[in-house]
Chain A
Amino acid sequence: AQKVTQAQTEISVVEKEDVTLDCVYETRDTTYYLFWYKQPPSGELAFLIRRNSFDEQNEISGRYSWNFQKSTSSFNFTITASQVVDSAVYFCALSGQGGSEKLVFGKGTKLTVNP
């Protein structure tokens, strides 16, 4: 069975601090996909990034970066120089190799960035 664990329920930082959101996953699939979604207070789910299990390269997009380590089954997300607009719930998710595979979500980490 697939499982995603986000151990940090809530994180509170002050603006401009760096913050890392942890994600640990479990799967028996050899090919799988990892995702991060952002859910701001307005409630919608916004896609941030997708990674497949064969691509362990870290990725940077502006202030966001992702660290994928298969050895520890982790896919962590770092926000550099956080801003108030980053305040949201962040979900890590996993899907398998099938064409219609469902997303299995973690419980989410609520990030609050204070001015």
Chain B
Amino acid sequence: EPEVTQTPSHQVTQMGQEVILRCVPISNHLYFYWYRQILGQKVEFLVSFYNNEISEKSEIFDDQFSVERPDGSNFTLKIRSTKLEDSAMYFCASSEGTSYNEQFFGPGTRLTVL
């Protein structure tokens, strides 16, 4: 069964460093998403991406964040200068394209900022 994959599973970085989280969505899906979950809290939407551009972004997704689909398979989230409060689990998701289609989530990348 096709699945969303994410690498790395755990990333530890120093405050102020740049990190890139990688995701490979399901191959025939058209919409891609990043969510984050601070430990013990709810899952929060960051950004959605379609047709090589951002469709929607939340207030959390400020200038420190960027997304890219550098090739036909990868979907990346970059945080330019990490802060302590960026420590969270980051989930990538993809869907075929309509609200009726569920979003399939990857296993997540746990980001720890020291």
What count of chain A residues pass the 8 Å CB interface test? Answer: 28
Complex CA gap A95/B93 in Å reads 14
At the interface, yes or no: B75 with Cβ under 8 Å from chain A? Answer: no
Contact with A along B24-64 (1 / 0, CB 8 A): 00000001010100000111110010100001101000000
Complex CA gap A62/B99 in Å reads 25
Q: Is the interface of A mostly helix, strand, loop or mixed?
A: loop
Q: Is the interface of B mostly helix, strand, loop or mixed?
A: strand
Shortest CB-to-CB span from B42 to chain A, Å, is: 4
A52 (CB) vs chain B CBs: closest residue: B100
Collect the chain A residues with CB atoms within 8 Å of residue B102's CB. 35, 47, 50
Q: A43-B108, A103-B33 are in contact. List 11 more A-B contacts (CB 8 A).
A: A45-B105, A45-B108, A46-B105, A50-B102, A52-B100, A100-B31, A100-B48, A100-B55, A100-B97, A105-B43, A108-B42
